[in-house]
């Protein structure tokens, strides 16, 4: 069964978060860290600090949208247990 992931990446060098969605978490992290993603290539390296798993793609997309709409670094730090 294909699973979908909502993930949060963190760049310690820039104290920055990136929220995304994928069906292949390892491949996606590799793409971010190799600079193949325009929106994240300038803040490498990235590490995964949070994931959620979904069986239905639309549920993952809704959760990704919710997390992106928070636009609050403190919210994301608490969610990811980063203090």
13 phi/psi in degrees, rounded to 5: -65, -30
Write out the chain's pLDDT in tens, 83 residues. 999 999 999 999 999 999 999 999 999 999 999 999 999 999 999 999 999 999 999 999 999 999 999 989 999 999 999 97
The domain spans of the chain are: 4-79
Q: How far apart are CA 72 and CA 42, in angstroms?
A: 21
Q: What pLDDT does 3 receive?
A: 98
Q: What pLDDT does 83 receive?
A: 75
pTM (two decimals): 0.95
Tokens of 31: 């793409």
Q: Say if domain 4-79 classifies as CATH 2.60.40.
A: no
Q: What pLDDT does 49 receive?
A: 98
């Amino acid at each position: 069964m294909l699973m979908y992931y909502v993930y949060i990446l963190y760049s310690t060098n820039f104290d920055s978060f990136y929220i995304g969605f994928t069906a292949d978490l390892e491949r996606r992290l590799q793409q971010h860290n190799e600079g193949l993603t325009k929106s994240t290539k300038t803040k490498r390296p990235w590490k995964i600090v949070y994931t959620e798993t979904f069986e239905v793609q639309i549920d993952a997309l809704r959760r990704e949208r919710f997390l992106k709409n928070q636009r609050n670094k403190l919210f994301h730090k608490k969610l990811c247990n980063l203090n």
